[in-house]
Structure 1
Amino acid sequence: MIYTLEPPLPKTLTPADYERIHFNPAELPRKRIVGLLACQRDPLLQELTTRVVSVAVSAAPPLAQKGRAKKKDKSSSSAASSINGTGANTPAEQGKLWEVELEDTVIFPEGGGQPWDTGVMYVTGANETHALPIEGCVRRKLDAVHMVRVPPGASVDMAALPGTDVRVTAHWERRMDHMAMHTGQHLLSAVLDTRELPTLSWAMPAWPSTEAAYIELPRALTWAEAAEVEGECNRRIRESVRVWIDFNMQGDEGVDGESDRENRGIPTDYTGGVIRHCVIEGIDRNACCGTQCPDLSHVGFLHILPPSTPHAATEPSSRVPTRLYFVAGPRAVSHLALASRWLSQAGQAIGVSRAELVPRIEKIEANRYDTDAAAKSLKAELASLVGGAAAKSGVAWVHRAEKSTHDYDFMGMAAAVWNGGAEDGAVIVFTSALPGTSPALLMVQGKDEARSKSVFDALQAALNGVDPDAGKRVKGGGARGRFMAKVDGKWGKRETEAVQGVVDGSARA
């Protein structure tokens, strides 16, 4: 039996049978609990006039916006920024944050992987109406708590609001983005379930991010599998498959005996409430607290980002849990438009058309590989010459200032060549410093570990003493006759003189 919850919500384009309550709601209080909120009963309801139940100054820090926010014009007001879901601009502009509970709301509190809604609460006084930004909404057990910002200078007596009516509106672009992505996730997970690929977890960056959401699967997909799944999802979207919500009291069994997927994600502190099952007709039935489109046509389009598996592979590259990224709804349009622009920019950067981009990059990579191999060979040959030319007795010092040899690999190759012909007590010192940059590199090597360490310690002391106010500049260590360190700060005449002094002194010792 299907029951009706009174009073009815304002009419929208949502079908009347979207909300299917399978218990008698006659004894429910007027204050709606999370699970029976207006936003969860009618996902297309954008505004609602309702009554304030309680208000309190928020003791919590401002809500953190999830996802990567778009840059806003600095001239935008803090209120406008909050209404658009991006938060206020500076602490001085923020005003006071209040926690407001309402009898009912179109503002969805975060849950089920879906970020919270933002919006506006309109408070009408004797002479004017104040638009107060709703910066977010959180669930506390069964209650939806709205985070309402009162801008500086607004003459609103928040403490007097309980018992009065207010109008709340949801920021619709944000809601539709989240809702289409969430319904798309249910559809994608259902299609993958038929291929014995259960969803282990999922996550979605909050609007205004255009970044993809992901579902975690037991293994990676091949490109062919991803294309097949994407095609199946979009076929269902084109068919405008119906979606509805079954409402049951927590603890009751499903109304039709369907085999549910695991009721994953129900919070442990949500007790005594209702369990909502999102039903995609003929495809899926799964517990969910989020807002879901009334039919799949609202999703519009779903795109699976190509997996990390090589595109021509016939077997998945990974048999361990792997993330599969996707976009749907308005975010899919924004994401693909941005990707298209990036593709054009990449083509322009290397002077080819979009169609020629992949083969040209493959050619560039092949040339780079050959160039790197040639450079490595030449570097090894140069290291052999440098190491072979260094003195094989006493303390030798080689200083370089070339970017191409500014690394420990080159020093090590040169030291290995030098070591082959060096006397037992000989030590070689390598330094490398690029003009105007930091850090410089230091390496000391010898066959006698004690002597090598003595020279290294002397160099540390000398270089640290060049500028005592700079603190410890030389950081490193070593063993078995090889010691390496980085020298912070720019290399100059004083550093050169300090090293020369140690080399000369050690040679006389």
Structure 2
Amino acid sequence: MAAATATLSPPPIPVGLLACQRDPLLRELATTAVSCRVSQSPAPPSNGREGKKKKAAPAPTAPLLEVILHDTIIFPEGGGQPSDVGILTSSDGEQWDVVEAKRHGGHAVHYVRLKPKQNVDDALRLFAPGAVVGVSLGEQGYKRRLDHACMHTSQHLLSAVLETRLNVETLAWSLTAAPAPCYVELARGLTPEEIAYVQEEANRLVFEGRSVHVEVEELDPSVKVMSGPSVGIPSDYTGGVKRTVVIDGIDRNPCCGTHLPSIHNLQLFLLPNTEALARSTTTSVRLYFLAGPRLIAHLTSTHTLLTSTAGIMSCGAPQVPERVQQVVDERKKATKRVEDLEAELAAVLADEIVSAPPREGGALVLHRHRTDDSANPLTFLSAISTAFVNKVTEKDSAKPYLVVLTSSPSAQASTSTTVVLVFGSDDKKVKEAGDELKAKLNVKGGGKGPRWSGKFSGVWKDAREGATVASVLESLTF
């Protein structure tokens, strides 16, 4: 199916002068189609910036169309800002989902994902050149637009304050997916005092309600030389204009994104820490920030978590840090006490094993199984083995021995794990015993020297698995 040619519709308005850029708060627009074709490849998910390594686009789950309109309120990705999503309404009242918008040269291309009941041929007919099309953001699309505009305008404000007040340049920024905080990348870290100062200064300007407007300048297609600061113009950007976003008395910055008409009520919150990034040639830091709907979501979530924690701790919200510290301290003391008691118990159990009667010939060969819900059963079994070796060394270092210790949880199921520890005076016998347990019980493990450890999956029964261990030990000769 060939792409339809734009013969019955006015040419598309270039990126830079689109309705979404002229009035970012506009929710609906009536326009006409310029062209429609089946997409050559699916539009990959985008965050407005390409990573160092491009990932292969996922296989399409439904037909995808590329629709160009005379005008649109669906912003195509650019300037670090992700694409909008929205809805196209054809002349018959059918709604079509726009899952992505991209800039091709100077035109905005809408990627329309067809629903199961929608037909490609019908779409090509309904979006033929000159066809009347309704464009809307929809509820979710408008929330996304408002979030992007808030975060993008906040970034301009934050970067301007950092540069003019602290002489710290913004190297890059990222408009992350909501509700995560966005960040600016800086050449150096900031002290807590500097972060507090920048936040206070930015919000002082917000309180003043500085207005935001856009200045448009014709783009010279031959040289693309423009006055004023510039973040760079894409090499494939054709037929468009240069847009400079101006925050009155604060900042002038070339940008194609959507911005709020004012910074009034645009409360800015900086996370009071920076994240260092080390690269092969440079070192930079990230300063995270929140504003608009993301800040409200963050405060709501944080307050809910704090209130819930206060309820659990049976205290007021201001007392939560103190109560949590008490719980942590008590947990440390309890853990230390458990470790001390386990050490004492390990010594007692080791003494019991040392005192067990040897087999004929003088070698001590035995198996001891425990039912234990210890957080780390192997650590406890290792403590027993260490205490045992110390006691044997004190009594008679020439006495040969081979001991198998196993530990299962009290409640067993098919997914339960029984820990197995083999230790002895002869490295070869230890390895031989471990290999036999692997072969006969499917124990997964290994070892080196006088120790071998592994795990058995399933329900451990003395009459079955225990008997197998006994037969393995019985087959060993010393």
Partners of 1:32 and 1:245 lie apart in 2 by 17
Aligned length: 428
Larger Rg: 2
Shift of 1:323: 3.5
Q: In 2, are the aligned partners of 1:130 and 1:154 still within 8 Å (CA)?
A: no
Tell me the equivalent position of 2:364.
Answer: 394
Report the RMSD for the aligned CA atoms in angstroms: 3.2
Checking the alignment, whether the CA contact within 8 Å between 1:63 and 1:135 is kept in structure 2 is no
* Contact 1:395-1:426 at 8 Å conserved across structures: yes
Aligned counterpart in structure 2 of residue 50 of structure 1, from 23, 31, 36: 31
In structure 2, the CA distance between the partners of 1:106 and 1:198, relative to structure 1 (3 Å rule), is same
Alpha-carbon shift at residue 137 of structure 1 (Å): 1.5
Letter in 2 for 1:278: V
- In the alignment, structure 1 segments of 5+ residues that lack a partner are 1-28, 67-90, 310-315, 465-473
Runs of 4 or more, structure 1, over 6 Å off, are 316-319
Matched with 1:131 is: 95
Change (3 A) 1:62 1:317: closer
2:123 is matched with 158
TM-score (norm 1): 0.75
1:78-103 C-alpha deviation (Å, 9 max, x unpaired): xxxxxxxxxxxxx9xx9754221112
Q: Does 1:426 align with 2:401?
A: yes
Q: Cα–Cα, structure 1 residues 282 and 368, in superposed 2: closer, same or farther, change >3 Å?
A: same
Q: How is 1:47-446 mapped onto 2 (pairs within 5 angstroms)?
A: 47-58=28-39, 60-61=41-42, 64=45, 96-125=63-92, 129-153=93-117, 157-160=122-125, 161-170=128-137, 171-193=141-163, 194-206=165-177, 209-218=178-187, 220-248=189-217, 249=219, 251-255=223-227, 257=228, 260=229, 263=231, 270=237, 274-297=241-264, 300-307=266-273, 321-391=284-354, 393-404=363-374, 406-422=376-392, 423=397, 425-434=400-409, 435-437=411-413, 438-446=416-424
2-side partners of 1:308 and 1:402: how far apart? 44
2:24 touches 2:258 (CA, 8 Å); kept in 1? yes
Alpha-carbon shift at residue 328 of structure 1 (Å): 0.6
Which one is further off, 144-153 or 115-124?
144-153
Q: Which amino acid aligns with 2:31?
A: T
Q: Deviations over 1:232-270 (max 9, x none)?
A: 221111112232334452754443x4xx3x727x65654
Deviation at 1:491, TM superposition (A): 2.3
CA distance in 2: counterparts of 1:332 and 1:277, whole angstroms:
27
2:436 corresponds to 1:458: yes
CA distance in 1: counterparts of 2:132 and 2:406, whole angstroms: 76
1:51 Cα deviation (Å)?
A: 2.2
Q: Report deviation, 1:301.
A: 1.2
In structure 1, what residue type is equivalent to 2:88? M
Percent sequence identity over aligned pairs: 37
Question: Contact between 1:98 and 1:148, CA under 8 Å: does it hold in 2?
Answer: yes
Please state how far the C-alpha of 1:175 moved relative to its aligned partner.
0.7
Measured in 2, the distance between the counterparts of 1:198 and 1:379 equals 57
- Measure, in 2, the Cα distance between the counterparts of 1:102 and 1:317: 42
Report the Cα distance in structure 2 between the residues aligned to 1:307 and 1:375, rounded to whole angstroms: 37
- CA distance 1:52–1:415, shift in 2 (3 Å): same
The answer as to whether partners of 1:406 and 1:441 remain within 8 angstroms in 2 is: no
Q: Secondary structure at the match of 1:443?
A: strand
What TM-score, normalized by structure 2, do the two folds share?
0.79
